[in-house]
Amino acid sequence: MEDVNNHFDLIVVGAGPAGLMAAAFAAEAGLSVCVLEKNARAGMKLLLSGSGQCNLTRADDIRDFLTHYGRGERFVRSSLLNFTNTQLREFFHQLGVDSEDRGDGKVFPVSRRSHDVLEALLRCCRKSDVIIRYKSVVRYIEKDELFRIRTTDGRYSSDFVLLATGGLSYPTSGSTGDGYKLAAELGHHPLSPYPVLTPVTITSYPFSSCSGISFYSRMEIFRDGKKRADYRGDLLLTHKGFSGPLILNNSRDIEKGDILKIAFPGERKKEDLQKALLDEASSAGKKSLKKFLTSKGLPERFVRIMMSLCEIPEDLLLSQLNKKNRMILLDNLFGFSAIVKSKDGFNKAMATGGGIPREEVRGKTMASILVEGLYFAGEVLDIDGDTGGYNLQFAFSSGKMAADSIIRVAGAGLSART
């Protein structure tokens, strides 16, 4: 038999940004809310976001966000427009956490401390009498007239349940896919999770000594001999392969065995560099090829490796560069072929793809289509945004949308109590 003291209007599973946001708004509206958190503290992954600085959102127009969620554009629309980046920043401002545009569109708290963001959320929850039970692992959830929840610390019942358990990225933060199992037991059909916003490892990678160098580049993805996609963005060379926004934002479209063709100087045309080479060979033939390439913005460490790959002596003069070597060099600079050995796993992935299918959830309410009273928010859903604040914005917006929806449905019951 359920302990009457453990009955709540809403039980939120997961004390991350989505769960805490939903709990705070639902409780402020008068619902009794309990958050069940498996860790000994809240917001473990939030504390890691933005390298501990918490990239809350972006300064762009909220409608410009929509194309940054892969195939989830239509699904995220309602929640993002219901609680925008402007409203999010004002929400935290009211809680004493001011934010600022870093200059590249990314918005951070002025303090650059993710801890300040988490503490503001927790203060908001405390003010509205949200109960948070830590070290409370949910074993199962059943549904009859109420939800019946069994945890490691007892039994609970509730009218509504919000699953905001996150995905599988950064498993040391407690993101171990618990929400998928709980949702499946209630009748949902989670999609197999996979890491996104993750670097890639390259077969026979030659640029290990160039780790840390970045370019604005163009990348084409080829699979089975066919071009699959074409992207532009900042590419970062690592010890084992490629990273940076160009790779991270499009890792959802990259598979093991794909061929990535990289044009390193993405803002420069191949024809323009070739013309400049020929012109300087004519007017300054005694200039070294290495010096010419570094004068065009290519880092010296990278130039040395590239010349070695093309079997061009490091001290070669422009006047000594023959047509064959010139074309080999240009082909590698503007079409370097790299075979994907693997994508890094969940330990390095910033987000999770897969999870609760969008088709099983109403994007306008975050309510389950299959189970009355069940809601979802954040990364547990099959939504993954680009790097740079998009995923946290969706977590906050979807949590707010779920709370708004639950408040509306529960309204009649609240009125009857008051």
* Helix, strand and coil in the chain, % to nearest 5: 40, 25, 35
Whole-structure pTM over 0.75, yes or no? Answer: yes
Q: Which token pair is 287?
A: 């200039």
pLDDT at residue 51, as a whole number: 83
User: pLDDT value at position 5?
Assistant: 62
Q: How many CA atoms lie within 13 A of 46 on its CB side?
A: 31
How distant is the alpha carbon of residue 261 from its chain centre?
A: 24
Residue 145 Cα to chain centre, angstroms? 37
At 135-161, the pLDDT tens digits run: 999 999 999 999 999 999 999 999 999
DSSP letter for each residue of 322-359: -HHHHHHHHHHHHHEEEEEEEE--TTT-SEEEEEB-GG
CA distance 73 to 66: 5
Looking at residue 361, what is its pLDDT? 98
Average pLDDT over residues 80-94: 98
The confidence score (pLDDT) of residue 223 equals 96
Residue 19 has pLDDT above 60, yes or no: yes
Contact, 118 vs 52, CB < 8 A?
no
Domains of the chain: 4-195+347-417 (3.50.50.60), 199-344 (2.40.30.10)
Name the helix (H) or strand (E) containing 311.
Answer: none
- Give residue 413's pLDDT band: very low, low, confident or very high (50, 70, 90): low
* pLDDT at residue 134, rounded to an integer: 96
103-137 pLDDT, tens digit each: 899 999 999 999 999 999 999 999 999 999 999 99
pLDDT tens string 198-207: 999 999 999 9
Q: Is a pLDDT exceeding 60 seen at residue 1?
A: no
SS3 state of residue 377: coil
